[in-house]
Amino acid sequence: MTATTHDRLDLAQVDELAAQLRVDSIRSSTSAGSGHPTSSLSAADLLATLMSRHLRYDWDHPDAPGNDHLVLSKGHASPLLYSAYKAAGVIDDAELMQGYRRVDQRLEGHPTPVLPWVDVATGSLGQGLPNAVGIALAGARLEHAPYRVWVLTGDSELAEGSMWEALATASHYGLTGLITLVDVNRLGQRGETALGHDMDTYAARVEAFGAEAVIIDGHDIAQIDEALARADGPLDRPLVILARTVKGKGVPEVEDQDGWHGKPLPEQTATSAIAALGGERSLQVRGPMPPAAEPVEHAPRGAVELPAFTVGEEIATRKAYGPALTALADADPRVVALDGEVSNSSGVADFVEAHPERFFEMFIAEQQMVAAATGLATRGYLAYASTFAAFLTRAADFLRMAPISRVDLRLVGSHAGVEIGADGPSQMGLEDLAMLTATQGSTVLYPSDATAAAKLVVEMADVDGVSYLRTTRGGYPVLYGADETFPVGGSKTLRRSDQDAVTLIGAGVTLHEALAAADALAEDGIHARVIDAYSIKPIDAETLREAAAATGGRVVVAEDHHAEGGLGAAVLAALAKEPITDLYLQHLAVDGVPGSGTSRELLSWAGIDAAHIAEAARRALEG
Amino acid sequence: MTATTHDRLDLAQVDELAAQLRVDSIRSSTSAGSGHPTSSLSAADLLATLMSRHLRYDWDHPDAPGNDHLVLSKGHASPLLYSAYKAAGVIDDAELMQGYRRVDQRLEGHPTPVLPWVDVATGSLGQGLPNAVGIALAGARLEHAPYRVWVLTGDSELAEGSMWEALATASHYGLTGLITLVDVNRLGQRGETALGHDMDTYAARVEAFGAEAVIIDGHDIAQIDEALARADGPLDRPLVILARTVKGKGVPEVEDQDGWHGKPLPEQTATSAIAALGGERSLQVRGPMPPAAEPVEHAPRGAVELPAFTVGEEIATRKAYGPALTALADADPRVVALDGEVSNSSGVADFVEAHPERFFEMFIAEQQMVAAATGLATRGYLAYASTFAAFLTRAADFLRMAPISRVDLRLVGSHAGVEIGADGPSQMGLEDLAMLTATQGSTVLYPSDATAAAKLVVEMADVDGVSYLRTTRGGYPVLYGADETFPVGGSKTLRRSDQDAVTLIGAGVTLHEALAAADALAEDGIHARVIDAYSIKPIDAETLREAAAATGGRVVVAEDHHAEGGLGAAVLAALAKEPITDLYLQHLAVDGVPGSGTSRELLSWAGIDAAHIAEAARRALEG
């Protein structure tokens, strides 16, 4: 059991490595008392062959630009992945045995980029492959790098539509550097998958979606090796290797049996299984080194020359997005954009024209759009992804995973709220703020005019984590001159006097309504403070508290969103961070299912227009 | 232009009907000043042939049990659908011309079930077909009804993975009554689709996913008719008719041209186009009547004999779900369940065993799961759908659409929060409450013990709209006896005295932590009121306000969820519905990306365990 380092094992030695990976998968999960050994055992031969003979990877330099990428889409097979890391010599046996699934340790239940060899977090099935498409897209279209992206998926996760969005996208973009290994072990969590071992149907699906399918016995090292060698090309399509495997392979007590998903082997079973597999080993194995590749050097960002908008001019914030992003991209080569086949509506069309090589059409596949942005972000690109605010909800689970992947994502959601009018409720984003504010570490911005929108597009470039810009369909007057700045976490107080009796808070379209309400109130001699809360998260708590205090705790918040998780909730949470002694809040938000109508009709129906804001202010004053 | 009613037009007459649908699609959208005439024109021949010769529908009785169903998955082609309604004589020309897309009218921009002939709302592309799978499932497996479900989809929406989840599910369940017509007009919103007119690739994908593909010229009435006639069978698979069409067909100025998506024809173009199409017509056309079918009569719900849990016994709320649902289903034949291939974890396994004929395995396709539940709900079934809370986010856009479809959906999300421990953040639902509370008209429940969980499963049966039950992975002591009731909108005050100095509010796992915190505080002579807020939306505002007032405004809320959109936000919003004069809120929630660990370690890491709650209470008392 001495450690031996091999460069590119002979085929005959791969079996030994596979046995070691199996043994270590069993040891680590049994030691942790949880984990998925049987899902690891089915893929051990695939990973052993890949890591020892095909994965071109400089383990001492995980950031080497020529390194291949390995995405474990079936993230629950983490014991296998971590066992491979041990075999590569980048973690030791002690960490594997004492760190796996333990608190404050990096060998988490499902892999995350806390580990330097992991690109994206996995564990929500059906996301690894879509993310890998983004990495492959970066390599092929932007970095022009020699790396391949290897993805190990399960068969259960092929039930997720996102996997087919991924293959369709990969074939559309001709990503021949994307190689997917499917561990078809027949058994999902609770029993057999829909297709079981029907390899031909899988192959037909893969081929129909534009990839090359190769069916192999996933436990025959020679077959695996031959299939993996096809990655060396030439290929004219993405490659998908469909490996027929046995769940639990190598441990007869659990092989191909129901009821063993996500369960570590009991101590005694583990001991006998390890013995039957030939006991512990300490092989150290590294495969081929990556080809030489220069890191992509991006020139530092130059001055961003934003378009200027004339105060008073009516323009939709969504229409400021494209020109602003174009200006940012002119100054920063890392900026790329994606869109869900609505570029003429979301506003990004100007960018598409100016920087076509940095634009990726994702068609109507929002999950893939966010996943590709995630993959691009892992490669250092500033990825902006846009569609209607309503349809960003399609990618909620991908947005949930983004903070776990530690990526910076920039999202732009247009056509927010009932303001869109005639198209009706299916097109109205009324839940997007709730989704985005609840995203870990997120930043949520909602500009009221084109100047603010353009400036915030640039601000987002320097924001960590998931950031979101919400834009409006209709045109509204430009409020701010070109010199105004819009720091994240700030706000603008547009009306303010020493006699202010009530505070009106709006963002986006409701800010314009709040201004009109203030005008109406002024006619009755009521002074209203008006705050543009363009930064919903983080919110300018100090300004809000000061305004509330100055206006006797009388605060009206109006928002074109449901009452939960949006601007009103953010204002209230900010105020409640300190003791509250005096607050009379009027929260106007959308309740009920809207129909069609004009913007004005629907803002009135929802009770969030100027008349309702003024009325709420009067209520507060009477209250 | 006199109205004539035809029963099942001759083939030669269908052209006339198609021309009428085209003319009316143009007229209605131009009159409204918005809408999608070109997307209607491409499908006019398909719909004319379908409605006049194949759709078996009693227009006078939309609820007739034998009626076929027609789902317009490409919901933006609403002018075409509404023109067909006019041709069927169920709306008049005045409504079409003056009602379309107008406020307070039922002919909305995208169809919704406000109209009696519409089953589900569409307009978020990629949802109509998945919903239709649910309707077809009800017909084939539960109602044993003769109806067919016809779906008219666009080609752009085939980019959505959800469409392939739908076909995979339809073929898995052998839904031969599901007939999908794809209007392959080549052009999406902003330009050509990924596949354009590559009909063979579409066919290969459809066939690979287990359906029968038929390619036709979508403007050749005879070909359309022949293809639609295949629905009469025998069929051994779902049928997909791939119709090659021309966007804008019939109006040479816009035919097959970019830049005309979602734009009404200008008045002058419309006038000349209508003239070229032969002018206005007033055909009234009804196709074949449905076969006789008896309505499904469900026996009224009997007494539900819930399992009883022993107070003090440690049991996970998720494990109460299956037995409770089984008991409910024993008493109510309308109860059905779906699961995302985690039935052994979500708790529904008991139901699967007891009522296999009422259970639908959706594999790992959460979008399809919610869509199928939606379809089943339209047929009067009480559909409960379960998976991990985290993975319900996959279906966010479908949940967003559910209130627009006016369906009652019952969701159960297990493994909520950091409490799950070792599996790590990818499996933790920390955003689910935000998503579900922001859903229009929703009900959100989060029981702390098995008794409450079981009772709330029954309560949900009578809740309108989307309701959600959040359950916990680990076992915790049963708190309530079998006689306790848990009305929606209620709460339980578990500790209460005249000397209460602080209020502790929890739900689910944090309720147990709050109780432990109260014990710790009691040791120091501090009396804490403890509230189990099992109903997060609606929340028991009166009890909360009373408690806050009784405890000097000192309130601690702890939740296993991010700070936004969950329990704390609900408590705060409830308190702020009235003027606040005294509130010192300590809101403990999960911030940061968790790792793996034990439940206890992670509850402590997140700062939501008993120790942190007690500490927050002391802060409130000092504050």
> pLDDT tens across B120-135, in order?
999 999 999 999 999 9
Q: 């752009």: which residue's tokens?
A: B156
Q: Of B110, B122, B164, B414, which to mutate for an interface test with A (greatest number of A Cβ within 10 Å)?
A: B164
C-alpha–C-alpha distance, residues B558 and B568, integer Å: 7
Residue B562 β-bridge partners: B590
pLDDT at A255 over 60: yes
* CB nearest to A365's CB, from B34, B159, B396: B159
Tell me whether residue A287 is in a domain. no
What count of CB pairs under 8 Å joins A to B?
A: 368
**CB distance from A34 to chain B under 8 Å?**
yes
Range of the domain at B537: 492-622
A54: pLDDT confidence band, cut at 50, 70 and 90?
very high
Tell me whether residue B281 is in a domain. no
Neighbours of B303 (CB within 10 A): 8
Across the range A574-594, mean pLDDT stands at: 97
A623: pLDDT confidence band, cut at 50, 70 and 90?
confident
- B373 sits in the region (left: phi over 0; alpha: psi -120 to 50; else beta) called alpha
* CB nearest to A165's CB, from B161, B406, B587: B161
Q: How far is B211 from chain A (nearest CA, A)?
A: 12
Helix axes of A44-53 and A78-88: crossing angle, nearest 10 degrees: 30
Identify whether A403 is preceded by a cis peptide bond (ω within 30 of 0): no
pLDDT in tens, B145-189: 999 999 999 999 999 999 999 999 999 999 999 999 999 999 999
Asked if the Cβ–Cβ distance from A205 to B201 is below 8 Å, we say: no
Q: How far is B622 from chain A (nearest CA, A)?
A: 12
Phi, psi of B505 (to 5 degrees): -120, 130
Together in a domain, B131 and B36 = yes
Q: Fill in the amino acid letter for B92.
A: D
**CB distance from A199 to chain B under 8 Å?**
no
C-alpha–C-alpha distance, residues A540 and A503, integer Å: 14
Tell me whether residue A99 is in a domain. yes
* Catalytic residue selected from B95, B212, B366, B431: B366
What is the domain count for chain B?
3
Is B51 exposed, middle or buried, given 0-12, 13-18 or 19+ CB atoms closer than 10 A? buried
pLDDT in tens, A231-247: 999 999 999 999 999 99
Together in a domain, B68 and B177 = yes
The chain B residue lying nearest A210, using CA atoms, is B201
**CB distance from B605 to chain A under 8 Å?**
yes
Q: Which residues of A touch B188 (CB under 8 A)?
A: 341, 363-364
Q: How far is B91 from chain A (nearest CA, A)?
A: 18
Q: How far is B8 from chain A (nearest CA, A)?
A: 33
Across the range A558-581, mean pLDDT stands at: 97
Asked if the Cβ–Cβ distance from B105 to A596 is below 8 Å, we say: yes
Q: Which residues of A touch B98 (CB under 8 A)?
A: none
**CB distance from A572 to chain B under 8 Å?**
yes
Asked if the Cβ–Cβ distance from A406 to B593 is below 8 Å, we say: yes
Where a domain ends, among B252, B276, B300?
B276
The secondary element (H helix, E strand) that includes residue A202 is helix A199-208
C-alpha–C-alpha distance, residues A42 and A49, integer Å: 13
Model ipTM over 0.95: yes
Together in a domain, B351 and B467 = yes
Q: How far is A601 from chain B (nearest CA, A)?
A: 7
Q: Which residues of B touch A106 (CB under 8 A)?
A: 595
Tell me whether residue A285 is in a domain. no
A366 a catalytic residue: yes
pLDDT at A6 over 60: no
pLDDT of A5: 56
Asked if the Cβ–Cβ distance from B434 to A430 is below 8 Å, we say: no
Residues 584-603 of B with CB under 8 A from A: 584-585, 587, 591-593, 595-598, 601-602
pLDDT at B7 over 80: no
**CB distance from B124 to chain A under 8 Å?**
yes
Across the range A210-224, mean pLDDT stands at: 98
C-alpha–C-alpha distance, residues A215 and A226, integer Å: 11
* CB nearest to B205's CB, from A208, A341, A602: A208
Enter the DSSP assignment of A417.
S
* CB nearest to B598's CB, from A103, A124, A365: A103
Q: How far is A560 from chain B (nearest CA, A)?
A: 13
Closest-CA residue to B376 (of B138, B179, B163): B138
- Using alpha carbons, list the distances in angstroms from residue B295 to B59, B144, B147, B298, B462: 17, 10, 12, 9, 22
Asked whether the whole model's pTM tops 0.80, one would answer yes
The average confidence (pLDDT) of chain B is: 97
B5: pLDDT confidence band, cut at 50, 70 and 90?
low
Tell me whether residue A304 is in a domain. no
C-alpha–C-alpha distance, residues A260 and A254, integer Å: 7
Together in a domain, B550 and B502 = yes
State what percent of residues in chain B have pLDDT above 90. 98
Q: Please report which residue ranges of B70-191 form alpha helices under DSSP H.
A: 78-88, 93-99, 128-137, 161-172
pLDDT of B8: 72
Is beta strand B443-445 parallel, antiparallel or unpaired with respect to B535-537?
Answer: antiparallel
Together in a domain, B355 and B318 = yes
Asked if the Cβ–Cβ distance from B396 to A391 is below 8 Å, we say: no
**CB distance from B36 to chain A under 8 Å?**
no
* CB nearest to B124's CB, from A122, A341, A426: A426
Asked if the Cβ–Cβ distance from A597 to B342 is below 8 Å, we say: no
* Catalytic residue selected from A143, A160, A366, A419: A366
A7: pLDDT confidence band, cut at 50, 70 and 90?
low
- Whether residue A427 contacts residue A390, with contact meaning beta carbons closer than 8 Å, is answered with yes
Phi, psi of B35 (to 5 degrees): 125, -175
Closest-CA residue to A455 (of A275, A586, A304): A304
Phi, psi of B46 (to 5 degrees): -65, -50
- Using alpha carbons, list the distances in angstroms from residue B116 to A481, B62, B71, B291, B371: 51, 6, 12, 20, 20
Identify whether A111 is preceded by a cis peptide bond (ω within 30 of 0): no
pLDDT of A322: 97
pLDDT of A3: 47
Neighbours of B2 (CB within 10 A): 7
Q: How far is A586 from chain B (nearest CA, A)?
A: 8
pLDDT of B6: 56
Together in a domain, A269 and A357 = no
A483: pLDDT confidence band, cut at 50, 70 and 90?
very high
The secondary element (H helix, E strand) that includes residue A504 is strand A502-506
Question: The CATH number of the domain where A85 resides is what?
Answer: 3.40.50.970
Q: 């062959």: which residue's tokens?
A: A49
Is beta strand A535-537 parallel, antiparallel or unpaired with respect to A443-445?
Answer: antiparallel
The secondary element (H helix, E strand) that includes residue B48 is helix B44-53
Evaluated on CA atoms B556, B560, B564, B568, the torsion sign reads negative
- Using alpha carbons, list the distances in angstroms from residue A291 to A68, A146, A176, A228: 10, 7, 17, 17
* CB nearest to A364's CB, from B101, B156, B393: B156
Together in a domain, B326 and B436 = yes
Q: How far is B28 from chain A (nearest CA, A)?
A: 13
C-alpha–C-alpha distance, residues A209 and B161, integer Å: 12
pLDDT of A2: 42
pLDDT of A8: 72
**CB distance from B569 to chain A under 8 Å?**
yes
* CB nearest to A364's CB, from B160, B204, B585: B160
Asked if the Cβ–Cβ distance from B426 to A563 is below 8 Å, we say: no
**CB distance from A576 to chain B under 8 Å?**
yes
Where b means 16+ CB within 10 Å and e means fewer, A108-120 reads bbbbbbebebbbb
Across the range B253-269, mean pLDDT stands at: 95
Residues 399-438 of A with CB under 8 A from B: 400-401, 403-404, 406, 422-427, 430-431, 433-435, 437-438
Where a domain ends, among A251, A276, A301?
A276
Tell me whether residue A482 is in a domain. no
Together in a domain, A19 and A155 = yes
- Whether residue A379 contacts residue A69, with contact meaning beta carbons closer than 8 Å, is answered with no
Together in a domain, B467 and B512 = no
Together in a domain, A145 and A221 = yes
Tell me whether residue B301 is in a domain. no
Where a domain ends, among B276, B303, B323?
B276
Question: The CATH number of the domain where B617 resides is what?
Answer: 3.40.50.920
pLDDT in tens, A538-556: 999 999 999 999 999 999 9
pLDDT at B273 over 50: yes
Longest dimension (CA), chain A: 90
pLDDT in tens, B525-551: 999 999 999 999 999 999 999 999 999
Where b means 16+ CB within 10 Å and e means fewer, A237-250 reads bbbbbbbbbbbbbb
Tell me whether residue B298 is in a domain. no
Together in a domain, B349 and B391 = yes
**CB distance from B156 to chain A under 8 Å?**
yes
Residues 52-111 of A with CB under 8 A from B: 75, 101-110
State what percent of residues in chain A have pLDDT above 70. 99
* HEC assignment per residue over B306-351: CCCCCCCCEECHHHHHHHHHHHHHHHCCCEEEEECCCHHHHCCHHH
**CB distance from A562 to chain B under 8 Å?**
yes
**CB distance from B196 to chain A under 8 Å?**
no
**CB distance from A498 to chain B under 8 Å?**
no
Structure tokens at A373: 């942005």
Together in a domain, B462 and B500 = no
pLDDT of B507: 98
Q: Which residues of A touch B105 (CB under 8 A)?
A: 595-596
